[in-house]
Structure 1
């Protein structure tokens, strides 16, 4: 039987993701700060059959360890400005009644109780259509300077903190209330049954809590859990907690190995191999002819300046390529931020100059370019070669133009080949993405095992 893919749309609440693509004639950057812009996009994705809209997050902006912000960051809108995505979700959920929403929040910058409360509220407001993309955060220098963190947190320590953070959130979501704790009985005057609302006590290496959780159980209880780390610690963390894992591989061989690796890791932690869904980044540009599509791709690739791409790399890895000898390599460079991205560019045969020149083509996942038929063929080939579960379709020029041709021309072909359901999925986000019969975490998930 042909695998039916899950599809998300990758966005960020900013004028652009790749610097300077906002200047392209097809881009629509003007409305990024207003709700109407995102409502239009949500309607398009919902009607087109996408399963969810995914918001990446940048808490800050690229800066060096000494606090210097490259001028290009401000001038060319390199993740500057960038707005607060979670605040959009209730407005978007009221706009469409099927599409799910995933938002990124950091375990390094946030506090468990406050984050849990926010996501429970969003899960109520969206009718169970919300997911949390768990990150430990890039831009660590910005967290020190803007949030008052004492120092950059070591990479593996961030994942230890994330483990404690998520464990506490799961306890709040899964153990704070029994399912039938709210009788709302007017005759007896009992709104909440005290015997079924439980005092929670958590003493972890990073967080502690002693008290009650004042948000009633939402449709999913726990939001659908995403994770996007690709380091060893990140993959272990994802295999423990994530239900969907966002990857950014660019070769079928590498993605096939990663899919097997992640499923092996999940199985080693007592979860079924299919408990994790792997969704990889995918940029699609379609034209009436292959030449037209390739021209559009070339325009998109050429849009960001070399300086702007270096600033993005600085924000994601903490490494300022412009301060290194262009003839040197990254083989001996280390970082506590973005280790997996740095490793992708650390081949001893690749110079810093090569990395700078190639960033515009190597950022992101697969890049599919051609006619609709060619795009469908290539996507089908990727699925057959890797057994990936779906894709996050990366926005290209910004706004609804990014997805118009993919929805109109490519998705019908994928649907005809059995790679997409004939009718868009419905239900909670967990039911749509994992195929679960229940909106709640499965019994094999550590969040449920801990509450049983």
Structure 2
């Protein structure tokens, strides 16, 4: 029997994502900064049966290791401008009553108390439909300049900070209040029972906190936890904390191996193998004929300049490909920024020049192109051969144009194949994605007991 897939829509609050869509005739980039445009997208996704809208929040933009911003970043809108996605969520939650929302926030740039407060508030305002995509940050060179840090934080040190960060947030969300701590009793004058609101005292390697957490328990208490790092350290972190893991593999062989590895890591942390749901990136182009779809895919591939793609790669990986001899390879190159991305391009048979020329085709997850029937069949095959739990359908042309054909022409075929539920999922985001029937963290999650490391 086919597994019913999870579906999210992958977006960034910017004119474009992979530097390849805002110039296309189908694109309407001018609405990226408006609530109205995002409300239209939320309504489309909600009605179409998507489970959630995912914002790949970016705090900065590509910058060279020397601290300069390539002109192409500004000229061609290479993740520039990029707006503050968490601020739009409450407006979208008021627009639709079923769709979930996932927002990326960095443990390198943020502070635990402020982030915990923000996500608790969003969990209240969305009725439990919020998720946190935990990252340790790309665009590290720019963050050093913008946040006043001394230098790029080493990769494994960022994950050590992230471990303490998440543990402290879990302590605030799960232990700071009893469920019945708010009697709101007018007769006795007791709004909050002091005996059921706990003082948090934390003194760790990275953070110190003394005080009460001033947000009462929200529907989920802890937002549904996503994670998107695929390095060895990132996988171990995900196996401990993540409930849903976002991956960007492009072959069924690598995706299948990664899914199995992530589940085995979860087991090593005392969790069930199905405690982590794996969703992979998926770019979809649909046409009336195979030829029409292929031509549209080629238009999308050809849109960004080589220079723009090199800048985007630099922002995500910390590596400026244009600074290397095109005839060399990336085998001996190391980065403290995007190790999982760089690893995807380390190949002794592929030169730097070939990597540069192929970025427009190889960045992102699976790419499926064809008629509705062909696309549905390709998705069915990928799901069966990789055992992924779902997909993040990637931003293509921008706004509602990215998803209309998929919703109207492909999703009905997926439902016929048993790959999507007959009726859209409902409940808190955790209930929708895990099928647990409970808004609370499962008992085998380390946050269920919130023991601060």
The CA deviation at 1:205 is 1.4
Q: Distance in 2 between matches of 1:245 and 1:231?
A: 13
The equivalent of 1:293 in structure 2 is 293
Aligned to 2:424: 424
Please report how far the alpha carbon of residue 57 of structure 1 lies from its aligned counterpart in structure 2 after TM superposition: 1.5
What aligned pairs does 1:310-329 form with structure 2 within 5 A after superposition? 310-329=310-329
Equivalents in 2 of 1:248, 1:79: separation in Å? 18
Spell out the pairing of 1:27-426 with structure 2 (5 A cutoff).
27-426=27-426
1 CA distance for matches of 2:71 and 2:210?
46
Residue of structure 1 in register with 2:448 after alignment: 448
Q: Answer yes or no: is the 8 Å Cα contact 2:20–2:300 preserved in 1.
A: no
**TM-score of the superposed pair, with normalisation by structure 2:** 0.99
CA positional deviation for 1:451 = 5.8
Structure 2 counterpart SS, 1:222: coil
Q: Distance in 1 between matches of 2:173 and 2:126?
A: 16
Q: Indicate the SS of the match to 1:30.
A: helix
Residue-by-residue CA offset, 1:173-214 (whole Å, 9 max, x unaligned): 000000000000010000000000001111221112111100
Which secondary structure does the structure 2 equivalent of 1:169 belong to?
helix
The runs of at least 4 consecutive aligned structure 1 residues that moved more than 2 Å come to 449-452
Separation (CA, whole Å) in 1 of partners of 2:151 and 2:75: 28
Deviation at 1:409, TM superposition (A): 0.5
Aligned equivalents of 2:128, 2:216: Cα separation in 1: 13
**Cα shift at 1:20:** 3.9
Question: 1:240-276, CA deviations, whole angstroms, 9 ceiling, x for partnerless residues?
Answer: 0000000000000111111110000000100001000
Could you report, residue by residue, the CA deviation over 1:377-435 in whole angstroms, capped at 9, with x for unpaired residues? 00000111011000000011111011000000100000011100000000000000000
Instruction: Tell me by how many angstroms 1:120 deviates.
Output: 0.2
Q: Secondary structure at the match of 1:436?
A: coil
**Structure 1 unmatched runs, 5+:** none
Q: Give deviations 1:90-147, integer Å, cap 9, x for gaps.
A: 0000000000000000000000000000000000000000000000001111111000
Aligned residues: 452
Cα-to-partner distance string for 1:290-347 (whole Å, 9 max, x where unaligned): 1110000000000010000000011001111111111111111111011111111111
Q: Measure how far apart 1:167 and its partner are.
A: 0.3
Query: In structure 2, the residue corresponding to 1:401 is in which secondary structure?
Result: helix
Query: Which ranges of structure 2 fall in alignment gaps of 5 or more residues?
Result: none
Q: CA RMSD in A?
A: 0.9
Relative to the length of structure 1, the TM-score reads 0.99
